[in-house]
Amino acid sequence: MKVSKNIVLKFSKDIVDRPIVCRLASQYNLEFNIVKAYITPREEGLLILRLEGESADFEKGLEYLEKSGVLIQPVSKDVVRNEELCTHCGVCVALCPAGALAVDEKTRKINFFGDKCNACGFCVTVCPMKAMEAKF
């Protein structure tokens, strides 16, 4: 079965110069799309990838990343909604390219689907209540 997920990879300064993602693609038959990439002043790296492949290859690839010293987490841990601040105004829905924000037609409230989020940050910048937060 094919698996397709957005994940966040954090690289320490000790491993940021290794061809880890290249090996992930070539040795584990995984396709990737770089959604975002950051390098901090201390040369630490953060990479948001859309990763796709067969389930067994996907799991082996994640094991490889962990053994290589890469910290892995789902994107949903990095983009979050503060439920207390959200007024469900809907401004964010129209700008979300990944479909991670959607109006519930029955309740008219905004649903946030973290597993679809690609961490583009559009929702963070447009939310008038500052309910959407990026924790990179």
Tens-digit pLDDT profile for residues 38-50 = 877 677 888 888 8
* pLDDT given at position 122: 85
**60 and 116 share a domain?**
no
Last residue of a domain, one of 40, 75, 110: 75
Domain hosting residue 95, numbered range: 78-134
19 and 30 part of one domain: yes
Could you write out the three-class secondary structure of 13-81? CCCCCCCHHHHHHHHHCCEEEEEEEEECCCCCEEEEEEEEEEHHHHHHHHHHHHHCCCEEEEHHHCEEE
Confidence at 59, pLDDT banded by 50, 70, 90: very high
* Count: domains in the chain: 2
Domain end (from 54, 75, 96): 75
Global confidence as pTM: 0.64
pLDDT, tens only, 19-45: 999 999 999 999 999 888 887 767 788
